[in-house]
Amino acid sequence: MGNIIYVELYKTFAKPRTYIGLIAIVILIALIQFGFYANKDEVGGSIRSLMGEAITVENLSLNGNMVCYFVMQMLYVHLPIIVALVSGDSISGEMNSGTIRALMVKPIPRWKLFFAKFIANQIYLLIVVLVIYIFGLIVSRLLFGNGDIAVYGDEISILGKEELLTRFTYGIALSYISLTVISNLAFMFSSFMENSIAPIVITMVINIVFLIFGSLTFELFAPIQEILFTKHMSLWIYSFELNPNYNEMYKSLYILMIYLFSFLTIAFFSFTKKDITQ
């Protein structure tokens, strides 16, 4: 299994598109940091206008934690695109290029090939969230220093700097789970299709449609909106609440897990039962 995972990782990281996402994240974070740095003297007003009601900075000075929180709010909407770029190409890219034939005639059970691809996708995803953690939190702290932040939830919460490293770590871990849902959705479409663009595009269309549908304020749609995965993607926010509603958090986690395993199961059967006719 080690050899197969090595080969899958090698292939993933030999593709330029793998780096496009990572470079985009680093550039976005750097731009945000630069924006804060350039305006640090008038940061109160700047942050208020940028963040709306998410953070209030009254009595708080600009610090690395504040910048990272802002980065996470900005990126969690856009990260699915970056994640889908790699997992959406994972199987369909091989179908498209014809390399699937060479892969499937190796003396390896298909389930092993499937899980090797899944693990390679998960490692990429882990690298994505680690890049956010390192560049968003660690670098921001080095540039702007450590400090408290204020977060708007149902109430305003002031979170002390000594507990923020733990909260960010939990937040990143929870966002990893949310992104795995998107990764598996793209992976599932990748197992159905024979060109590498369609799974990425379809994943994004579903994400956008669900986001828009989830924001419609009609009573009629409320029960459906509750079970859309996009409604629960901001799971990481719970790690920044002073008194998190654990029931709601577990409910979100439970719904995301159902999606995550459903997409993975469908992809598994599609891949292992597939006739390779290309």
Partner 1 sequence: MPPIIEIKNLHKAFKKFKALNGISLSVNEGEIFGFLGCNGAGKSTTIRCLLTLIKPDSGEILFKGKNINECRSEFLSSVGCIVEKPDFYKAMSLETNLKLSAMLYGKNPNQEEIYACLDLVGLKGKEKVKFKACSQGMKQRLGMAAALIHNPEIIILDEPSNGLDPRGMIELRNLILKMKNELKKTIIISSHILSEVERIVDSMIIIDRGVNVIQGSADELLHGSEVMVNIETTEPAKLIEKIKQSSYASDIESQAENLVTLKSTMKAIPQLHKDIILMDEPIISFYTRKKLEDLFLKLTEN
Q: Which residues bind partner 1 (CB under 8 A)?
A: 3-4, 6-7, 10-11, 14-16, 97-99, 101-109, 273, 275-277
Q: Which is nearer to partner 1, 93 or 136 (CB)?
A: 93
Angle, helix 16-38 to helix 110-131, in steps of 10 degrees: 20
For residue 53, what are the CA distances in angstroms to 47, 48, 88, 212? 10, 7, 35, 21
Nearest to 55 by CA among 157, 133, 136: 157
Q: Which is nearer to partner 1, 94 or 241 (CB)?
A: 94
Q: Widest CA span of the chain, in angstroms?
A: 65
Q: Which is nearer to partner 1, 109 or 160 (CB)?
A: 109
Nearest to 76 by CA among 188, 162, 156, 181: 181
Q: What is the token pair recorded at 87? A: 């997992």
Helix (H, G, I), strand (E, B) or coil at 227: coil
CB of 4 to partner 1, least distance (A): 7
In this structure, are residues 139 and 39 in contact, taking their beta carbons and an 8 Å threshold?
no
CB of 12 to partner 1, least distance (A): 11
Within 65-110, strands assigned E span none
Q: Which is nearer to partner 1, 142 or 276 (CB)?
A: 276
Which residues touch 100 (CB under 8 Å, ≥6 apart)?
A: 91, 94, 276, 278
CB of 111 to partner 1, least distance (A): 12
- Quote the CA–CA distance of 143 and 29 in Å, as a whole number: 12
In this structure, are residues 158 and 237 in contact, taking their beta carbons and an 8 Å threshold?
no
CB of 20 to partner 1, least distance (A): 14
Q: Which is nearer to partner 1, 50 or 104 (CB)?
A: 104
Q: Which is nearer to partner 1, 47 or 116 (CB)?
A: 116
CB of 91 to partner 1, least distance (A): 14
Which residues touch 4 (CB under 8 Å, ≥6 apart)?
A: 108, 112, 113, 116
CB of 108 to partner 1, least distance (A): 6
CA-based torsion, 250, 88, 68, 39: positive or negative: negative
Q: Which is nearer to partner 1, 26 or 104 (CB)?
A: 104
CB of 162 to partner 1, least distance (A): 47
